[in-house]
Structure 1
Amino acid sequence: MSSVFAAFHAVRDSIRRHPWWTDSLLALFLTFISVGSVVFAGRGHLDLDISVLDAILVPVTTLPIAVRRYRPLAVLATTVAAETLLLLFASRVPAPVGVIVALYTVASRCERPVSVRAGGWALFAIVVGVIVHYGSQAGKIVPELAVFAIAWVIGDNIRTRRAYLAELEARAARLEREREERDQRAVAEERARIARELHDVIAHNVSVMVVQASAGEEVFDTDPGRARESLAAVASTGRAALAELRRLLGVIRAEDDREGAPSYVPQPGIEYLDELVRQVRETGLEVELSVLGQPRELPEAVGLCAYRIIQEALTNTLKHADASQAQVSVRYVADAVELRVTDDGRGASAVNGEGGGHGLIGMRERVALFGGELTVEAGDGRGYAVRARLPLEEPER
């Protein structure tokens, strides 16, 4: 049984790969039937006494079927013309099998308005030919022409189904492309998020460590006690950096694991600002923290964003501003939290100086995610200010 199915599928695949050969064989087969119906002509014996018109036109009613898939309308016009001429002028007329196949092909391959018009003209020509050829007997023949309507209906249904399947395939392909694009966007957004987090964690802590190590080196010989304090601060900052990295990796792993998987230490929020300010003060930068308005619990994502913005602003002050003082202000309003970080550093030269600008880009990306506002201002002389406003509700995306 399996060999039978295998042979069937092989034949079907061969037909699909070579439609012209299939149609050529069909055309020869139909020609054989048409010629046979003429030379036998219902007499039960071979009768070759046929007219030249029959000899020429009978093959024309079927042989064009070989190219029906490539020129369906031309094939229909040719077969109908040949069949009609035979009905009008010949004594022997073959069965209109070529016209039926051609009409089916037009209905299955052309748009419905085209196939309706073509089928209507074909049927009209055949009916006129039948009336002329059969005369008073035409009334018995005309009802049999319903086979043309059946052929058209079958072809139209196949065309409709083919169009439906093509639409399904196109829709599936479109959905697949959209899914791939969504996946690519999600991957890109996740990479950008991780890059921002890594930049903020590493840049801040390494900057603090560099400042502390430099301070320790300067007083290593003259003030060993202060040098030891600087080294201790370097070690403490390094441990804090490792803790933040573990925290970040824990969040990433928890997102990748199944729902309900235990996460690591939560990400820092605005409640960690005191620790952040203390850490920066240990570098020798005088930092003043003020909180205005009624403090309240922020959404976790908003709190993390606020923390990272202040962290990055202070990191820029440490790395580029050559400042001695900085002020951090957090102001709670009805529907947002407003942040302000200023210093007395180098101003515009700090903004346009060393560094690749990734920190500012990261801050803008973070604020944009929440539909907030960010301004970075620097005077021509001294001073540098970062202002951000974060809505308390994330925008719909």
Structure 2
Amino acid sequence: MRQVSTTVAAVRDAIRRHPWWSDSLLALFLTVIAVGSVVGSRTRYGYPFPVLAAIAALFTTIPIALRRYRPLPVLAITVTAETLLLIFSNDSPVPVGVIVALYTVAAYCERRVSIRAAAWVAPPVIVGEIVNNGPHAGRVIPELAVIAIAWVIGDNLRTRRAYLAELKERAARLEREREEKADRAVVEERARIARELHDVIAHNVSVMVVQAAAGEEVFDEDPERARESLSAVASTGRAALTELRRLLGVIRAEDDRGKAPAFAPQPGIEYVSELVRQVNDAGLPVELSVIGEPRALPEGVGLCAYRIVQEALTNTLKHAGASGAQVHVRYAADALELHVVDDGRGRSALNGEAGGQGLIGMRERVALFGGELTASPRAGRGYEVRARLPVEGRTP
């Protein structure tokens, strides 16, 4: 049984891949039947009408071999040949070729085209039957019924094929949309990772460079201060490694047990005081003020606030040449407000990272949470960064 089904499937696949061969075999089979029926029938007149009837019978079926490639011309030829056959012969065989050709037109052409074709086929069949068998020909209605059934079957096949094609196109479109969505997610994730890397590396490396430079200056005169600077470099380096491990833990896939690797938690607004301490240790005096009652914030908002303060202080430390800075954190009823200000070079600081990827990263972070950010030089001297991050209600 399995071998039979395999053979049937192979034959069906061969017919699908090579329709011309199957149509040629069908045309040959129908031609044998058509010519045989004409040879055994009576013709209306003597020679050469028997020969003409046989030729007409040939053209009612032979074009079927090309029915999938030229359905309308094939139908026109078969209808014309069938009409001539009705003229040359006293008998009127069933117009099998016309039926197959009309079925093909209904299956492969638009509905409006196939309806017109069916309307064009019916009159020759009716006239031929009446001419050969009189006005009360009993085969007119059955033949018209067969022609109508052939059209209905072909039209249903066309409708089903169009439906399946639409389903396939819809599935392909959904697959493309899924791939595009995945690509966008990858791009967004890469941008997020790039921002994280920039924030982690830029801040910590800046602090390390400043501390190392300070230690180098006092190495001979004040070994104790140099030792403190080197200790701060080591501490900042360890903090940077911790954050990098955390970031790599986010990038990595889950382990074999299906659990994500455990690394240090994401820094939030509560870590700003530690950030201020690091910058103070690096030699830049920073004052921190908190207005309002501190409360727990969504993790994403807390991380965003931390990164904004970190980026602003990093730019001040690297580019502003400031002698001091202030960080103001205000817990409003429906938002978290940040204000970082320094007394550095102001507008010239924009030539550094503050006017480049760092500022772009801050704007992207704030926009992600529907907030607002402004970064601009102050009147006279200094630079300030203001951010407002909406917080829906009070987060427990």
TM-score with structure 1 setting the length: 0.91
Measure the CA separation in 1 of the matches of 2:323 and 2:26.
Answer: 94
| Cα pair 2:50 2:88 within 8 Å, conserved | no
Residue identity opposite 1:63 in structure 2: I
Task: Give the % identical residues.
Answer: 73
Distance 1:231 1:257, change over 3 A: same
Name stretches of at least 5 consecutive residues in structure 1 with no aligned partner. Answer: none
| Cα pair 2:49 2:88 within 8 Å, conserved | no
Q: Give 1:366 deviation, angstroms.
A: 0.8
Distance 1:377 1:247, change over 3 A: same
Q: Give 1:143 deviation, angstroms.
A: 2.5
Residue identity opposite 2:33 in structure 1: I
Q: Give 1:22 deviation, angstroms.
A: 2.2
Measure the CA separation in 2 of the matches of 1:241 and 1:352.
Answer: 26
- 1:190 and 2:192 are equivalent in the alignment: no
Q: For 1:84-111, what per-residue CA distance to the aligned partner results, in whole angstroms no more than 9, with x for missing partners?
A: 2332453243321100100110111112
Partner of 1:97: 96
Measure the CA separation in 2 of the matches of 1:75 and 1:325.
Answer: 91
Partner of 2:116: 117
Aligned residue runs from structure 1 range 1-397, under 5 A: 1-41=1-41, 50-253=49-252, 263-353=262-352, 357-379=356-378, 382-393=381-392
Residue identity opposite 1:205 in structure 2: N
Q: Give 1:273 deviation, angstroms.
A: 0.9
| Cα pair 2:372 2:387 within 8 Å, conserved | yes
Q: Give 1:252 deviation, angstroms.
A: 4.3
Residue identity opposite 1:36 in structure 2: G
SS class of match (1:267): coil
| Cα pair 1:348 1:381 within 8 Å, conserved | no
Measure the CA separation in 1 of the matches of 2:373 and 2:124.
Answer: 78
Residue identity opposite 2:313 in structure 1: L
Measure the CA separation in 2 of the matches of 1:133 and 1:72.
Answer: 28
Q: Give 1:42 deviation, angstroms.
A: 8.9
SS class of match (1:338): strand
Q: For 1:313-340, what per-residue CA distance to the aligned partner results, in whole angstroms no more than 9, with x for missing partners?
A: 1111111111111111112223211111
| Cα pair 2:255 2:261 within 8 Å, conserved | no
SS class of match (1:162): helix
| Cα pair 2:38 2:54 within 8 Å, conserved | no
| Cα pair 1:317 1:345 within 8 Å, conserved | yes
Residue identity opposite 1:72 in structure 2: P
Distance 1:64 1:122, change over 3 A: same
Distance 1:6 1:79, change over 3 A: same
SS class of match (1:139): coil
Measure the CA separation in 2 of the matches of 1:256 and 1:268.
Answer: 23
Measure the CA separation in 2 of the matches of 1:140 and 1:218.
Answer: 115
Which stretch of the first structure deviates more once superposed, 92-101 or 219-228? 92-101
| Cα pair 2:64 2:74 within 8 Å, conserved | yes
Measure the CA separation in 1 of the matches of 2:256 and 2:210.
Answer: 38
Residue identity opposite 1:357 in structure 2: G
Measure the CA separation in 1 of the matches of 2:182 and 2:257.
Answer: 18
Measure the CA separation in 2 of the matches of 1:177 and 1:148.
Answer: 43
Q: For 1:162-183, what per-residue CA distance to the aligned partner results, in whole angstroms no more than 9, with x for missing partners?
A: 1111111111111111111111
| Cα pair 1:28 1:63 within 8 Å, conserved | yes
Q: Give 1:53 deviation, angstroms.
A: 3.2
Measure the CA separation in 2 of the matches of 1:390 and 1:380.
Answer: 25
| Cα pair 1:326 1:341 within 8 Å, conserved | yes
Distance 1:358 1:334, change over 3 A: same
Which stretch of the first structure deviates more once superposed, 32-41 or 83-92? 83-92
Q: Give 1:201 deviation, angstroms.
A: 1.1
Which stretch of the first structure deviates more once superposed, 29-38 or 128-137? 128-137
Distance 1:220 1:291, change over 3 A: same
Residue identity opposite 2:292 in structure 1: G
Which stretch of the first structure deviates more once superposed, 97-106 or 244-253? 244-253
SS class of match (2:263): coil
Measure the CA separation in 2 of the matches of 1:393 and 1:69.
Answer: 65
Distance 1:255 1:369, change over 3 A: farther
Name stretches of at least 5 consecutive residues in structure 2 with no aligned partner. Answer: none
Q: Give 1:36 deviation, angstroms.
A: 0.6
Which stretch of the first structure deviates more once superposed, 293-302 or 374-383? 374-383
SS class of match (1:51): helix
Residue identity opposite 2:372 in structure 1: E
Residue identity opposite 2:192 in structure 1: R
Q: Give 1:249 deviation, angstroms.
A: 3.2
Residue identity opposite 1:8 in structure 2: V
Which stretch of the first structure deviates more once superposed, 218-227 or 183-192? 183-192
SS class of match (1:285): coil
Measure the CA separation in 2 of the matches of 1:369 and 1:257.
Answer: 33
Residue identity opposite 2:111 in structure 1: R
Distance 1:277 1:345, change over 3 A: same
SS class of match (2:134): helix
TM-score with structure 2 setting the length: 0.91
Residue identity opposite 2:295 in structure 1: R
